[in-house]
Structure 1
């Protein structure tokens, strides 16, 4: 049997009751496995006392035996849409810190009460999703390779606080949780906190394929959720398509129509099967922006390719309009790909080296200066549709690096 991972576990810790219960449980489990636990405390800088709360949470985490790190959401805050912006900022900070620490699993203290509150919020018109027990980080590309584990979804907030009180524990209470300007606070005040709902498990599609260029192929009867995930992953974007436009796409696919369309930054070609790739038309609208990396620097181009520069700097741009600069071998490989896929492939430009695309066969990027290029589309899609159900080994589409990389 393969040995258990020794990678650290990251825990989102606010000092509130749910996260306190979670951190204590995680520390108890990690101690028996010899794993480090890193408590990550986010200061949203939205409350006058937030700095003091952060310091208290850090001290509490360290007293319990965890390593602890403070993270801050700095800069101006939006006037509208503040809860959603704060949620994205929080997830981005947590995912970045977890990955930097070598952790691929981030534990969060969502409970059965959060499931009930999300349902109540949707009933009032919100689009907030249900927290899943095991899911990839919702932010992109900051959340790549980071998975969220929510082990408390079967417990209500009342049960957790009763258990803490029985141990003589105290915890912090964020006043925002009682601020009725926010939908979640209104749902909690309306009694949703006490309800218990069963979380819905993700179900992967029965058939799909992802090629080395980042194009996905699905059957025409693919579920709407899988189509939405394919659009996001193929386009490298984070914002899902609007519900009515996705529903229209599903109806056209179910009707057997042959068509080409664009949606959410992706191109859809529906024939016997559905081809979904990056919309090359984005180049005309200012999309597919170039990325320049210093020697040894890592960056994500267009949300689809992770590039690590080698001994020299590298600029990554879209292949559209530059195919003639490729080597004969790479031009041959390019001709074998569907025409819709070709323009949005990455092209790597380095001083003193021939332009090349990591999506094509031919001399590798690594052989010419030690760089690496990793296609993110396939792994992201597999994670999004529930194919990774535990901390394990995932396959990565890599040029110039190992074809298999551990999640932790």
Structure 2
């Protein structure tokens, strides 16, 4: 069996010296069972704990029993285990996409709460083949990558996905498990032909040539204290999309013709200002990408109220934790006169277009303050703290963070 590539992926991406647990998405199916056993084998010599996270989507009558069985199986293998449940109303259409989003959010929140910054998932070469078959029928599904930031936001902040099994096919994984005397769950949803992936699987899409991943040079960029990103005129579509996504604090990057037209305008040398996907773009000598303070249709720039000690994410760009008193966060737009004189004096260092979308922190008995005018970390007298998320997220999106770091960023 081709395990060398799997072990190489774990060795390359994981930090053996880190004390943090490794999280594994575990369903009790064959792929995730093989993954959990493989991660446990890697982690034991390094003394690293492994946490199996089992998601109950609540879409099958037997899912509570399957979840309990998966938790027990993970514990038998030597992992810690935790069950997570997708609660609330379920959609009547678009169920696979909604379930995927809910699953990733639950997994990311649980991993971060446990101190894990890496979440291993059991995607295989067979999943790549099924994705290719689905795209041939008009689907826009993308291929899973070996290493990638969590796709949900803000739940996925600081969490990376590791998929070390992409070189192995589903059948050879099951043969190996059978040889070890293991049994696994086969989810009936995998055979439900209402779904495109099940149809691709039923059609026999189980082989695909795994393409070598070639690293791309990161674009020249700078991120300031306000979370505004500066790029050169030669920026390509992919890093520009990442900049728009991160500067706006949104979850889905722009694609298609609108993005391509924006790239063409930038490369033409034209001086202009434009907005796309919640971000404002100002193209002059360099390209400035910041939050569009006028775009609030998707609930952006909404006020945030935090109880003492509570942590929340404001506008997808700032992680804020209240201190010993309640803390409120709102946009600075129209409230500059409420800032203390020292902070008002620092405003000229921030691009004028980025200022209205800065956060303003205020609490009972304290004067309002803007964390961007104190630096990337703000903390004073128990009033709370704020962390800019844009830089870390952008570096992850363009591939500058390609392995686990022993020191987490939260």
TM range (shorter): over 0.9
Deviation by residue 1:105-139 (Cα, 9 ceiling, x = unmatched): 11100111112222222222222221111111111
CA–CA distance in structure 2, aligned partners of residues 186 and 369 of structure 1: 56
Specify whether residues 167 and 196 from structure 1 end up closer, same or farther in structure 2 by C-alpha distance, changes over 3 A only.
farther
Trace 1:260-339 onto structure 2 (pairs within 5 A): 260-283=273-296, 287-339=300-352
Q: Deviations over 1:276-311 (max 9, x none)?
A: 000010258853100010111111000000001111
Aligned partner of residue 42 in structure 2, secondary structure: helix
Structure 1: 5+ residue runs without aligned partners? 394-404
Partner of 1:401: none
Q: Are residues 1:245 and 2:258 paired?
A: yes
**Which of 127, 143, 149 is the equivalent residue of 1:130?**
143
Q: Classify the secondary structure of the residue corresponding to 1:308.
A: strand
CA distance in 2: counterparts of 1:175 and 1:44, whole angstroms: 13
Mapped pair 1:104 → 2:104: no
Measured in 1, the distance between the counterparts of 2:303 and 2:404 equals 34
- Contact 2:149-2:396 within 8 A present in 1 as well: yes
Tell me what 1:397 maps to: none
- What is aligned with 1:406? 408
What are structure 2's unaligned runs of at least 5 residues?
1-14
Quote the Cα distance in structure 1 between the aligned partners of 2:66 and 2:297: 48
After the TM superposition, which segments of 4 or more aligned residues of structure 1 sit over 4 Å from their partners? 283-286
How does 1:179-190 map onto structure 2 within 5 Å?
Answer: 179-190=192-203
1:17-32 equivalences in 2 (<5 Å)? 17-32=30-45
Shift of 1:78: 1.0
**Which range moved further: 196-205 or 25-34?**
196-205
Q: Distance in 1 between matches of 2:212 and 2:127?
A: 10
Measured against aligned partners, the alpha-carbon deviations of 1:261-289 in whole angstroms (never above 9, x if no partner) come to 11110001111221100001025885310
Deviation, structure 1 residue 49: 1.2
* Equivalent pair of 1:22/1:109 in contact (CA under 8 Å): yes
2:155 is paired with a residue of what secondary structure?
coil
Match of 2:7 in 1: none
Q: Does 1:355 align with 2:357?
A: no
Alignment of 1:28-39 (within 5 A): 28-39=41-52
After TM superposition, list the pairs within 5 Å mapping 1:75-86 onto structure 2. Answer: 75-86=88-99
Contact 1:296 1:310 in 2 (8 A): yes
Does structure 2 retain, via aligned residues, the 8 Å contact 1:112–1:197? yes
For 1:331 and 1:135, the matched residues in 2 are separated by 39
Whether the 8 Å contact between 1:17 and 1:171 is mirrored in structure 2 is: yes
Report the equivalent of 1:49.
62
Counterpart for residue 12 of structure 2: none
Query: Which shows bigger deviation, 134-143 or 199-208?
Result: 199-208
Q: How big is each residue's C-alpha offset from its partner over 1:57-113, in whole Å with a ceiling of 9 and x where there is no partner?
A: 111111111111100111111112111110000000000111111111111001111
CA–CA distance in structure 1, aligned partners of residues 203 and 226 of structure 2: 49
1: distance between equivalents of 2:100 and 2:47? 32
Query: 2:295 is paired with a residue of what secondary structure?
Result: helix
Residues 358 and 365, structure 1, Cα contact 8 Å, conserved in 2? yes
Question: Cα offset for 1:204?
Answer: 4.8
The answer for the alignment partner of 2:400 in structure 1 is 387
1:78-227 alignment runs, 5 A limit? 78-198=91-211, 200-201=213-214, 203-227=216-240
Q: How does 1:364-375 map to 2 (within 5 A)?
A: 365-375=378-388
Q: Is the contact made by 2:325 and 2:383 (CA closer than 8 Å) also made in structure 1?
A: no
CA contact (8 A) 2:153 2:251 kept: yes
Distance in 1, matches of 2:116 and 2:136, equals 36
**Mapped contact 1:202–1:385 kept (Cα < 8 A):** no
Deviation digits for residues 328-360 of structure 1 (CA, Å, limit 9, x no counterpart) = 111111122211100000001111111110000
Report the Cα offset of residue 189 of structure 1: 2.1
Query: Residues 307 and 74 of structure 1: is their aligned pair in 2 closer, same or farther, counting only changes over 3 Å?
Result: same
Instruction: Give the drift of 1:199.
Output: 5.6
Matched pairs, number: 396
CA RMSD of aligned residues (A): 1.9
Where 1:61 maps in the other structure, the secondary structure is: helix
- How does the TM-score come out when normalised to structure 1? 0.93
Please give the secondary structure, in 1, of the residue aligned with 2:393.
helix
Contact 1:217 1:273 in 2 (8 A): yes
